[in-house]
Structure 1
Amino acid sequence: MIKTLSNNISFLRTTLYISAFVILVVGALTYRSITEVTKSSELITHTYKVNVELEQILSNLKDAETGQRGYIITKDSVFLEPYISGRSKINNSFAELKVLTKDDTILKESLIKVNSLINKRLLAFQTSYRSLPKGDIEDPNFIENFRNGRALMDSIRDNIKGIIKLQNNLLKQRRSEYESDLMATPLLLFSLLLCSLILMYVAYNSIYKNIKRLKATNEELEIFKESTNQSEIVSKHGSWTYNVKKDEFTYSDNLYRLLGEQPQSFKPTIENFLTYVHPDDVEKLTMQVEQMKENIELPYIYYRVVHKNGNIKHLKAYGKSVVNEDDETVLLGTTADITDEIISFRILEERNAELERNNKELSSFNYVASHDLQEPLRKIQTFLSRLIDEEEGKLSEKGNKYIDRIQNAATRMRLLIDDLLQFSRSNKADKVFEESNINLLLEAAKQDLAEVISAENAVITSDTFPTITVIPFQIQQLFVNLIGNAIKYRMEGKIPKINITHQIVEAENEDNIIKPKYSHYHKITFTDNGIGFDNQYADQIFVLFSRLHNKDQYSGTGIGLSICKKIVENHKGYITASGQPEKGAVFTVYLPIAK
Structure 2
Amino acid sequence: MESGMTDIKKIFHSFGINDLLNASTSGLVLFKKDRSQEKDVVRYICTVDNESARRLTGQKSLTGLSWQQMVGEGAEVGDPLLCPDIELHFKSLNVWCRASNVAVDDSHFMCTLTDITPRKKTEERESNVLSILTDAEDSMRFGSWMWDLESDTNEWSSGLYSLLGYSPEQVTEIRASYDLYLSHVHTDDAEILRHAVEDSIRNQRSFNAEYRIKTISGQEKYVMSRGQFRVGEGAKPAMSIGSVFDLTSIRNIQNELEKKVDELNRSNFDLEQFAYVASHDLQEPLRKIVSFGERLEKRSQGALDEEMGLYLDRILNATRRMQDMINNLLEFSRVARSKEGFVATDLNTIISGTLSDLEIAIQNKDAVIAIDALPTRVEVIPTQMSQLFNNLLSNSLKFTQEERKPEITIKSDRLSKSDQLNYGLPAQGDYVRITFSDNGIGFENNDSSRIFTLFQRLRGRSEFEGAGIGLAVCKKVVENHSGIIMASGKSGQGAIFTIILPLTQS
State the TM-score, normalized to the length of structure 2: 0.67
**1:450 Cα shift?**
3.5
What is the rounded CA distance, in whole Å, between the counterparts of 1:244 and 1:429 in structure 2? 57
What is the rounded CA distance, in whole Å, between the counterparts of 1:189 and 1:253 in structure 2? 61
What number of residue pairs does the alignment pair up?
Answer: 412
Deviation string 1:22-42 (CA, Å, 9 cap, x unpaired) is xxxxxxxxx79649x8xxxxx
The alignment partner of 1:557 has SS state of coil
2:117 alignment counterpart? 212
Distance 1:196 1:376, change over 3 A: farther
What is the rounded CA distance, in whole Å, between the counterparts of 1:468 and 1:293 in structure 2? 48
The alignment partner of 1:467 has SS state of coil
Aligned match for 1:446, one of 355, 361, 367: 355
What is the rounded CA distance, in whole Å, between the counterparts of 1:517 and 1:306 in structure 2? 38
**1:299 Cα shift?**
2.8
Distance 1:468 1:324, change over 3 A: same
The answer as to 2:209 corresponding to 1:301 is: yes
State whether residues 535 and 579 of structure 1, in contact with CA within 8 Å, keep that contact through their aligned partners in structure 2: yes
Deviation string 1:272-314 (CA, Å, 9 cap, x unpaired) is 3344343444566556555555445563333333344443222
1:228 alignment counterpart? 133
What is the rounded CA distance, in whole Å, between the counterparts of 1:422 and 1:32 in structure 2? 119
The answer as to 2:496 corresponding to 1:591 is: no
Distance 1:367 1:506, change over 3 A: closer
**1:397 Cα shift?**
3.0
What is the rounded CA distance, in whole Å, between the counterparts of 2:212 and 2:444 in structure 1? 62
Higher share of residues assigned strand: 2
Aligned match for 2:378, one of 469, 482, 489: 469
The answer as to 2:180 corresponding to 1:252 is: no
The alignment partner of 1:587 has SS state of strand
Q: List alignment gaps of at least 5 residues for structure 1.
A: 1-30, 38-180
**1:466 Cα shift?**
4.3
| Aligned counterparts, 1:42-57, within 5 A | none
2:369 alignment counterpart? 460
Q: List alignment gaps of at least 5 residues for structure 2.
A: 28-51, 57-94, 98-113
State whether residues 486 and 498 of structure 2, in contact with CA within 8 Å, keep that contact through their aligned partners in structure 1: yes
Deviation string 1:23-63 (CA, Å, 9 cap, x unpaired) is xxxxxxxx79649x8xxxxxxxxxxxxxxxxxxxxxxxxxx
Q: CA RMSD in A?
A: 4.2
**1:244 Cα shift?**
0.8
The answer as to 2:490 corresponding to 1:572 is: no
The answer as to 2:307 corresponding to 1:398 is: yes
Distance 1:328 1:189, change over 3 A: farther
Aligned residue identity for 2:463 = Q
Aligned match for 2:236, one of 327, 330, 336: 327
| Aligned counterparts, 1:162-561, within 5 A | 186=11, 200=25, 211-263=116-168, 264=171, 265-282=173-190, 285=193, 290-291=198-199, 294-296=202-204, 299-323=207-231, 326-427=235-336, 430=339, 434-467=343-376, 469=378, 471=380, 472-492=382-402, 497-502=406-411, 504=413, 522=433, 524-528=435-439, 530-533=440-443, 537-561=447-471
Deviation string 1:311-336 (CA, Å, 9 cap, x unpaired) is 32223223111246733111012112
**1:245 Cα shift?**
0.7
Deviation string 1:210-265 (CA, Å, 9 cap, x unpaired) is 72122122122222212212211221211111111111222222222222222424
2:108 alignment counterpart? none
**1:534 Cα shift?**
5.0
What is the rounded CA distance, in whole Å, between the counterparts of 2:198 and 2:431 in structure 1? 51
1:113 alignment counterpart? none
Aligned residue identity for 2:383 = F
Aligned residue identity for 1:412 = R
State whether residues 365 and 406 of structure 2, in contact with CA within 8 Å, keep that contact through their aligned partners in structure 1: no
What is the rounded CA distance, in whole Å, between the counterparts of 2:237 and 2:503 in structure 1? 47
The alignment partner of 1:228 has SS state of helix
The alignment partner of 1:400 has SS state of helix
Deviation string 1:390-417 (CA, Å, 9 cap, x unpaired) is 4444444333222222222222222223
What is the rounded CA distance, in whole Å, between the counterparts of 1:301 and 1:593 in structure 2? 33
Give the structure with higher Rg (CA).
1
2:80 alignment counterpart? none
**1:587 Cα shift?**
1.8
2:75 alignment counterpart? none
The alignment partner of 1:412 has SS state of helix
State whether residues 244 and 293 of structure 1, in contact with CA within 8 Å, keep that contact through their aligned partners in structure 2: no
What is the rounded CA distance, in whole Å, between the counterparts of 1:456 and 1:482 in structure 2? 16
Distance 1:522 1:337, change over 3 A: closer
State the TM-score, normalized to the length of structure 1: 0.58
What is the rounded CA distance, in whole Å, between the counterparts of 1:443 and 1:479 in structure 2? 10
Aligned residue identity for 2:223 = L
